[in-house]
Structure 1
């Protein structure tokens, strides 16, 4: 089914940005690879060793003091951002709900101030330690870097390795 994103929102530590949010950039889940050139291989091969650093972002159309106050926190402190989106099928009108939960550190990137125009503010979410993505309540991704959990399509890809390490 074709589902087209209709509306979305971001909650930053519980604060709803539904009147300000303009853009969301979800994390990209990509392999962290290293190339090997073993003597018995015909050519170079990338070997996956985990996941690449996760990064996300959001853009709001305001100068929100509460959001700005989430950037530049002391070490060990982070912010929880929950993205919610609703997609509707053009074929049958069915609705699909998505939820992304991210734990990381907010960094603010203020854009230019211009007279008689709105001022967008970009926030990058870096140092992400936790990412969870659900579609209609079904788990697509759950990545918990600190606890070596890597669920993809409902299957924990790292369970055996964690067990071997006694974690």
Structure 2
């Protein structure tokens, strides 16, 4: 029997600024694909064709304690990859002591900033949803997934999934 790797600690960097002690939580992006069912003659059931990424896009949700002026000043960023964020996490298995360093780099812009409740003597937090055009997940120094929607790049486990499509399109 084995125990799973659990997040023991984390940090978030916003445009190079460390949020150590400020970042309260980070919801890492869901990765989704747009799939369409197809069933033709001679098929006993449907098979879903992969049509690329989901229309839901890639979103990072995160919360900070207190007043976050850096994020507020970034609201309305013009460039689709205008806000760089980097999550770092330390994961560990309690049965073996084995650890993993996880890094997620995204670039995008803030879709929503929730200011939270303002009440004297109570905790204050901001909740941000950042819509991302770039995503790169690295575990223990190994690049696992890289997605660059603006530059037509999708790499999974070192395999360039769009290489042949880029060549066919002439770039």
Q: TM-score, normalised by structure 1?
A: 0.90
| Matched residue, 1:81 | 85
Structure 1: gaps spanning 5 or more residues: none
Which stretch of structure 1 is more off in the superposition, 22-31 or 108-117? 108-117
User: What is residue 62 of structure 2 aligned with on the other side?
Assistant: 58
Retained in 2: the 8 A contact 1:32–1:50? Answer: yes
Separation in structure 2 between the aligned mates of residue 36 and residue 133 of structure 1, nearest angstrom? 32
Instruction: Give me the CA root mean square deviation.
Output: 1.7
| Alpha-carbon separation, structure 1, partners of 2:100 and 2:92 | 6
2:97 & 2:87 partners in 1: Cα distance? 22
Could you state the TM-score of these two structures normalised by the residue count of structure 2?
A: 0.88
Aligned residue pair count? 166
Q: Check conservation: 1:138, 1:154, Cα contact below 8 A.
A: no
Q: In the superposition, relative to structure 1, how do residues 98 and 104 fare at CA in structure 2: closer, same or farther (>3 Å)? A: same
Aligned partner of 1:30 in structure 2 is 32
Q: Secondary structure at the match of 1:150?
A: strand
What's the secondary structure of 1:162's corresponding residue?
A: helix
Aligned with residue 121 of structure 2, among 96, 99, 116? 116
Measure, in 2, the Cα distance between the counterparts of 1:165 and 1:146: 15
Contact kept in structure 2, 1:35 and 1:44, CA below 8 Å:
yes
Alpha carbons 2:66, 2:126 under 8 Å: kept: yes
